[in-house]
Structure 1
C-alpha cells in the first residue's frame, strides 16, 4: 500500500495542468539532451497520456482506494437504536459547557447521568465535537484536525480527546440508546486547524493546509481549502483557520457522500442520531441540506442572528431546524431587561415552530442571568423544541423546578399559542391544545403576587396550577373566563385538573 507521504505528493502532482507538465518535461530534457526528444517522442507522449487519465484530483485512483478502505477499529460500534424517543417529543439536553473538566473524563460523567435525564423527560443529548482537534487534550473540539480520531491515535499531543477515548464515547452512545435517548453530534464543517505548512500556489506563500491525520482518512491539501483552483472564497472564514471548500467533490465525498464519509461513519459506526451544525454562516445552506438528504437524522444549524426573518430564510433553504436566536435575544430583553412586552416581538417559533430550537443559555452565550428560571418557564411552555443547558440543570438552577417544567412541556404544552396579555411585569399566554387540554402560563416579573382574569380553553371546568406555586383550584365560567394568579418573580401554569 502506498504510504501517506507518497500519496500526498501524488495527489498534489496530478493537480498540475497538462501545459505545466509539458513545460517542465521539456526543460528537463533540455538540460540533458534535447535531441533525444525526437528519438523518444512516442515514449513521452504515452507517459503524458497516462497522467491525463488521472489529472483530476477528485477521480484519482489512489483516492478511491483510500475512500473504500475499511474504517479503523470498527469492532467498537454503537448499538440499540430500536426504541428511541422521537427527537422533538421531549426536551434536548446540551450535555456540556465551555471548558468542561479536561483529562478524558467527560464521556463517563455524561454516561452516568443519561438514565436520570431520560426519566426526567429528555429525549436527546447534544455532545461537543468528538474528534481530535489541534489542541488535543485541551481542545473543546471546535478546531478539528482528524475527523476520524475519537481518542485512539497519539497525535496533537494526546491519545484521548479532552472528553475521553473512543471506547468511552461509544459506551456513552450505547448507554444513551439503552435509555431511549438519541445522541446529537456537533459537526464543524467550516474550518480546520492543525495542518502542516506547505507552499500554496494560490496564495503565493506557505499555508497550514497539509493534513495527514493518523487515521489515514480525509487527507487534505491546499486544493481542499480557499482559495483554490475552483473558488476564491465562500460565505465566511472563521478565526483565520483553514476554510474548507465545499464545492470540491473530494471534500463532499469525505464529508457526506462516500460510504466512509464523516456523516455515514458517525451515523453507522459511532451511532449518532442527529446533527448540530456549527457556524453555518460560513458556508451555503445547501451544504447542510445535502448532508441531511444523504444521511437523514434530526438537524439543527447555529445561524447566529437575532433576526427572525433571516433565521426563517436559512432554515427554509437548508430544510432543517435553526437555533432560535431571535427568541433568545427577545428573552434577554424581557427578563434581563425587565420588559416583558418584548415577548410580543418576532421570533422563529412564531414563524415556523417546527424549525425552531429554543434555548436560554449555551456554551457560547449566557446573558440571561437574572430571572433565568422565568425564561425556562417561557420556552418550556411555548412552541419550538426547547434545549436545557447542562450547568443550569446540574449546578445553577433548581432541578426540581426544571423537571416540573419539562413534565409540563411533555404533557400539557400542545397546540398553537395565543398571547393573552403583556406589560412590563406580566405575561400571559395560552397553548390551545392539540389532542390534549393545553395550558395557560402566567409569568410574573414583579415583586408582588399578581392576579388576572383570562380566557381559557375550558368551560365550567376545574383547573389547577401544575407548578404548585398557587393552591387555587378555580372553576372556569361558562364563557371560559377565570381568574388566575402568579407569585412574585415566578410563574404558574394552569390546566384541567
Structure 2
C-alpha cells in the first residue's frame, strides 16, 4: 500500500520455479518450471536470443524450463477516468509474447474515494464498477465489463491474473453508535450496493472479540478476522469474497496487502478454502520474519530482504552483500523477487538488479513503469527470455568482491543452466570460473560480449563482463 499518498487521500476523505513445492497445489504454482516445453527463439546478429513468446506458440505464453515472470500491471496514481483495464488488456499479447506468464492488478473493487481511489480503501468487495456508489459507477480503472474482458483476454493468452486483496481495513462506512468504544465509529456498511458482506461495529476492533489484532492502518476501521461472520464472508461461504473472485470473476491468485496487520493464519485459511497462487506484502527486511510468515501463511512472500540487499549492492558499490541471506535462498518456491513496485522505488541502478532476479531462484516481478516507460524494453525482454529458458537448478555463488559478482545456476533435467557475471566497476573485467560443462562452447546470451569460449576438460573457462553491466553465459545451443 502506498503509505504517504494514501494517508493524504484518507485525510481529505475523512474531513475525510522450478519444481512443485510440497504444500502448494501444482495448478497454483507459476514456478512449476522444470519440465521441458516447446520454445521458439531466434538469435540477433550480436548473439542476443529473442523469442516469439519465450516458449510461446501462436502468441500464447507457455512456461519454459525456467518458469515464467510476473508483471505488476499498475503503478501508483495510474490515470483516472476508467481507462486502465483497457490499457492493460491491450498490452497482454505483447507481454505474453515476451514471456510474462502472469499479471498482478490493483484492488479491483469500489473504494471510498470512488473513481479517484487506487482501491486500498475498500468499501464494497463485490462492486467492480457496476454499482453507483461512492460518487461513481466505474472504479478508477474502469467498469466490471472491462475488467472481465481483461481477465478473459489474459486467459486466452495463457496468462494468470492475480488480484490485490485488501482485508486488513475498510473505509466508506456510515457513522453508528459503537458500545465498545463509547463513541460513534464509521463502521456501518449495511447499505453497500451489492448487498454482500454487510458489516457493523462488531466486525471491527475493538469489539466483543478483543481490542485489537496484529496491527491497524491509517485510522481505518480494522477488520476483525477473529469473528466467524467475517471469516465466512471472506473465505468460507460459496459466495465469499475469495470464492467469488476466483469462481465468478476468474482471478487465479492473490497479492495480500499489509499482512503485518493480521496473523498469517488468515492467509492460510483463505488459501486452504479458496486456493490459487498467493503472495503477501510483509514489508520487513528480516529474512527470519519473512520465512516465518510464509511458512505459517502457506504462501509466497515478497523478498524484501533481497530488495534491500540489491540496493546496497548495485547503488552503493558493495556486491559482497549478495552473499547475505535472503528469502529466495531460504525457500525459492515461496520467494517473489522484485526491483521496484508501486510503494517503493529506491534502487537506481536497475538493470543489474533485474539481471540478478531474472537469473536467480525465486519468482521474479517486473514493475510496469520499468518495462513500459523507464528502462530498455529490449534488454528486459532478453533477460526474461534467459530466465524462462536458461535459469534452472540450484545456485552456486562463484566469486564476489565489491565490484564483481559471479553465480552459476546448476541446471535441471537436461537444461544446462547458466553463469551470470555482474560488474559494477568502470572497466571490463575477466575471471576464470568453474562451470558444469567439459569441453563445450559457451556464449554470452546478452550479446554484451562477443567471446565464444570453450570450457577446458576440467570445466574451467574464462569469461568477461563489460563495465557497469552484466553478461550471462550458457552453452552455445
TM-score (norm 2): 0.86
Unaligned runs of 5+ in 2: 1-59
Cα 1:272/1:87, change in 2 over 3 Å:
farther
Match of 1:348 in 2: 327
Whether 2:441 is the aligned partner of 1:462: answer yes
In 2, are the aligned partners of 1:418 and 1:432 still within 8 Å (CA)? yes
1:307-456 to 2 correspondence within 5 Å?
307-369=286-348, 371-435=349-413, 436-456=415-435
Aligned match of 2:181 in 185, 194, 203?
203
Match of 1:55 in 2: none
Aligned match of 2:209 in 227, 230, 238?
230
Structure 2: distance between partners of 1:239 and 1:247: 20
Give the ranges of 4+ consecutive aligned residues of structure 1 lying more than 4 Å apart after TM superposition.
82-88
Whether 2:198 is the aligned partner of 1:213: answer no
Match of 1:194 in 2: 172
Match of 1:271 in 2: 250
Structure 2: distance between partners of 1:310 and 1:227: 27
Cα 1:138/1:265, change in 2 over 3 Å:
same
Structure 2: distance between partners of 1:307 and 1:337: 20
Match of 1:138 in 2: 116
**In terms of mean alpha carbon deviation, does 88-97 or 339-348 score higher?**
88-97
In 2, are the aligned partners of 1:444 and 1:488 still within 8 Å (CA)? yes
Please report how far the alpha carbon of residue 153 of structure 1 lies from its aligned counterpart in structure 2 after TM superposition. Answer: 1.0
Cα-to-partner distance string for 1:291-343 (whole Å, 9 max, x where unaligned): 00111111000111001111001000011100000000000111111111111
Whether 2:107 is the aligned partner of 1:129: answer yes
Please report how far the alpha carbon of residue 231 of structure 1 lies from its aligned counterpart in structure 2 after TM superposition. Answer: 1.6
Max Rg structure: 1
Please report how far the alpha carbon of residue 89 of structure 1 lies from its aligned counterpart in structure 2 after TM superposition. Answer: 2.3
Cα 1:154/1:347, change in 2 over 3 Å:
same
Structure 1: distance between partners of 2:464 and 2:61: 41
Structure 1: distance between partners of 2:119 and 2:67: 28
Match of 2:231 in 1: 252
Please report how far the alpha carbon of residue 197 of structure 1 lies from its aligned counterpart in structure 2 after TM superposition. Answer: 0.6
Cα-to-partner distance string for 1:240-275 (whole Å, 9 max, x where unaligned): 100000011110111110011000110011110001
Please report how far the alpha carbon of residue 458 of structure 1 lies from its aligned counterpart in structure 2 after TM superposition. Answer: 0.5
Structure 2: distance between partners of 1:215 and 1:406: 41
Structure 1: distance between partners of 2:250 and 2:148: 8
In 2, are the aligned partners of 1:361 and 1:367 still within 8 Å (CA)? yes
Please report how far the alpha carbon of residue 85 of structure 1 lies from its aligned counterpart in structure 2 after TM superposition. Answer: 5.5
Structure 2: distance between partners of 1:477 and 1:92: 37
Cα-to-partner distance string for 1:400-435 (whole Å, 9 max, x where unaligned): 100000000000000000101111111000001112
Match of 1:13 in 2: none
Structure 2: distance between partners of 1:158 and 1:88: 44
Match of 1:5 in 2: none
In 2, are the aligned partners of 1:226 and 1:233 still within 8 Å (CA)? yes
**Aligned pairs, number:** 415
Please report how far the alpha carbon of residue 87 of structure 1 lies from its aligned counterpart in structure 2 after TM superposition. Answer: 13
Cα 1:495/1:278, change in 2 over 3 Å:
same
Please report how far the alpha carbon of residue 229 of structure 1 lies from its aligned counterpart in structure 2 after TM superposition. Answer: 0.9
Cα 1:168/1:394, change in 2 over 3 Å:
same
Please, what is the CA RMSD of the aligned residues? 1.4
In 2, are the aligned partners of 1:87 and 1:123 still within 8 Å (CA)? no
Unaligned runs of 5+ in 1: 1-81
Structure 1: distance between partners of 2:279 and 2:138: 27
Match of 2:17 in 1: none
Match of 1:241 in 2: 220
Aligned match of 1:113 in 91, 108, 133?
91
Cα 1:95/1:86, change in 2 over 3 Å:
farther
Match of 1:32 in 2: none
More helix, by proportion: 1
